[in-house]
Structure 1
Amino acid sequence: MTPRVSVVVPSYNNGPHIEAAIHSILSQTYADFELIISDHSSTDGTWEKLQLLASDPRIRLMQVPAGGGAPANWTAVTDEARGELIKLVCGDDLLYPTSLAEQVAAFDQHPEAVLVASQRDIVDETGVPVVQGRGVQHLHGMVDGLTAIRRTVRAGTNVFGEPACVMMRRQVLADSGGWDSRSPYLIDQATCSRVLLHGPMVAVRRPLAGFRISAQQWSVSLSREQSEHARAFHAMLRSEHEGLLSGWDVRLGDARATLMAWKRRAAYIWLRRRMGI
């Protein structure tokens, strides 16, 4: 039988955390799901650790050849999904036990929705929350898709959260062109925005996932690159979809994207000090 939900995990060198990520998915209170895990030529033992989990009938393992970066891995594992609904979980993140159940319930309550997003906790290398209940800004309940897109642009950041916070209708994702790799640092935000051109979202104002951060993830050059990609993303949206964004929307979003990039930089400096690095 075809499962209602496909959870897909594109792993790459997630050796220290892949087991915790997979166990968090297998421990869901919602049972009607399949779990597809692709490994993108990991060199740190991730694939070997996945073999220890392969006996679970809900799991399918696959390998993706080197090359193409994250978009290639995300696309390959998504193409194997069969469920009506799809959730992508990176190999070092965590799902909280009721994540699938609550997001499926939101789709059942709002059948016109194309996407459900929740808040998330920011967790450190050990899984301990360092920031709780982040995401979805001031969105609550059913939100028009175009309104949600404007909100994420004006905020200068991804209000939908990382993929583990989001569940989408798989067919709408496919009809939208799949994962949007034109903005490498904004693949999740850009894809959610493209999906939301097709309908409304539901915002769940509770953390249903843990997004893991590392003190080594950030740099001054990366903060500049991400803000540059955000500005390009805003300009692209305005150019491709007439009437969606005003000039003021873009100017505000550009300014806030620069500010948010430096806020993240400061947060990672704080994390390094917290961990004694």
Structure 2
Amino acid sequence: MSAPTVSVCIPAYQAGRHLADTVRSVLGQTFGDFELVVLDNASTDETPDILAAFDDPRLRVLRNEAVLPIADNWNRAVASSTGRFVKVVCADDLLHPDCLRRQYEVLATDPSIALVCARRDMINETGEVMAPNRGLRGLIGRHEAGTVIRKVVRHGGNPLGEPGGGLFRRAQFDAVGGFDPRWKFPMDLALWIGLLGHGDFFGQRESLAAFRIGRDSLSARAQRAEYAEQRALSEGLATDPGWHVRPLDRLVGAAMAPGARLRRQALFLVAKRQGERN
């Protein structure tokens, strides 16, 4: 049997609450030539039972004997995949039915594009849309990598979005070393930056994924640590001579960063209050 064209990888840990919905959103894609690899990171909740209930030849379930650190777990999920193109989806996020098809069409027709990302909806724990069509401001369409890096520095946060919104080439993922364990919160953005060293960026106007804002998620607990890591990553880009970031970009980013942090915190606060009412 030949390898699938696209691999969707879901690293799952204690993911029982939303995992079934996430898996169904992947298996419901209009694009047919894909595999779904779910790596259970030694969960002790109902995660194994939920996965065992699915009967679909496109789904492969793997399990770690002991809990791995986040980056190691995510990298193992991708290493276990066989597709030429890869998408990593967090175990509580969702994909639009046309997500794989629309993103595959971009990468498959232009080898000079290293990363395609789509806008996404921000949803709460019950799946209600809190903020539609978020992200990629000023980044719709094709952009040279250096332009995107300067946008990242000026944004003060992550303007490209979470893993579920992106699709990339496995060979380039391997070339940059995968997810960098030195980063915890901006691990996805660090990967996007590494991939942009291999080609251009394409931003899709449509919302093709949904990022779930949960009370107990890693992002919800980030707070100051996330902000500090984000600033350190941005400063590293600003001082890297290879990206030609201007002093003005660096100043704008420093000014914008607190606002980006507050906007994100506000969404998590609203989600927490909505969750407490349900």
Decide: shared fold, TM above 0.5. Answer: yes
Q: Counterparts of 1:156 and 1:177 in 2: how far apart (Å)?
A: 25
- Indicate if the aligned counterparts of 2:185 and 2:222 stay in contact, CA closer than 8 A: no
Q: Which residue of structure 2 lines up, in the alignment, with residue 32 of structure 1? A: 33
After TM superposition, the structure 1 stretch with the greater mean CA deviation from structure 2, 240-249 or 114-123, is 240-249
Q: Which residue of structure 1 lines up, in the alignment, with residue 183 of structure 2? A: 183
> How do 1:1-277 and structure 2 match up within 5 A?
1-53=2-54, 55-217=55-217, 222-276=222-276
- Indicate if the aligned counterparts of 2:185 and 2:219 stay in contact, CA closer than 8 A: no
Query: Match for 1:238: what amino acid?
Result: A
Query: Match for 1:142: what amino acid?
Result: R
TM-score, structure 1 normalization: 0.93
- Indicate if the aligned counterparts of 2:8 and 2:88 stay in contact, CA closer than 8 A: yes
Q: Counterparts of 1:167 and 1:146 in 2: how far apart (Å)?
A: 19
Q: Counterparts of 1:222 and 1:160 in 2: how far apart (Å)?
A: 18
Matched position secondary structure for 2:137 = coil
TM-score, structure 2 normalization: 0.93
Q: Counterparts of 2:76 and 2:267 in 1: how far apart (Å)?
A: 33
Q: Counterparts of 1:90 and 1:36 in 2: how far apart (Å)?
A: 12
Deviation of 1:29 (Å): 0.2
- Indicate if the aligned counterparts of 1:219 and 1:265 stay in contact, CA closer than 8 A: no
- Indicate if the aligned counterparts of 1:176 and 1:195 stay in contact, CA closer than 8 A: yes
> 1:144-182: per-residue Cα shift (whole Å, max 9, x none)?
112112111211121111111000011011101111222
Across the aligned residues of Structure 1 and Structure 2, the Cα RMSD in angstroms comes to 1.9
Unpaired runs of 5+ residues, structure 2, are none
Q: 1:202 to 1:185 in 2, by over 3 A?
A: same
Query: Match for 1:85: what amino acid?
Result: F
Query: Match for 2:123: what amino acid?
Result: V
Matched position secondary structure for 2:42 = coil
Q: Counterparts of 1:239 and 1:177 in 2: how far apart (Å)?
A: 22
Deviation of 1:56 (Å): 1.2
Q: 1:230 to 1:160 in 2, by over 3 A?
A: same
Q: Counterparts of 2:17 and 2:223 in 1: how far apart (Å)?
A: 26
Deviation of 1:218 (Å): 8.0
Q: Counterparts of 2:56 and 2:243 in 1: how far apart (Å)?
A: 49
Matched position secondary structure for 1:14 = coil
Q: 1:33 to 1:243 in 2, by over 3 A?
A: closer
Query: Match for 2:176: what amino acid?
Result: S
After TM superposition, the structure 1 stretch with the greater mean CA deviation from structure 2, 76-85 or 242-251, is 242-251
Q: Counterparts of 2:71 and 2:258 in 1: how far apart (Å)?
A: 24
Q: 1:65 to 1:258 in 2, by over 3 A?
A: farther
- Indicate if the aligned counterparts of 1:12 and 1:41 stay in contact, CA closer than 8 A: yes
After TM superposition, the structure 1 stretch with the greater mean CA deviation from structure 2, 138-147 or 159-168, is 138-147
Q: Counterparts of 1:25 and 1:219 in 2: how far apart (Å)?
A: 22
After TM superposition, the structure 1 stretch with the greater mean CA deviation from structure 2, 152-161 or 184-193, is 152-161
Query: Match for 1:15: what amino acid?
Result: G
Deviation of 1:220 (Å): 9.6
Q: Counterparts of 1:5 and 1:174 in 2: how far apart (Å)?
A: 15
Matched position secondary structure for 1:50 = helix
Query: Match for 1:51: what amino acid?
Result: A
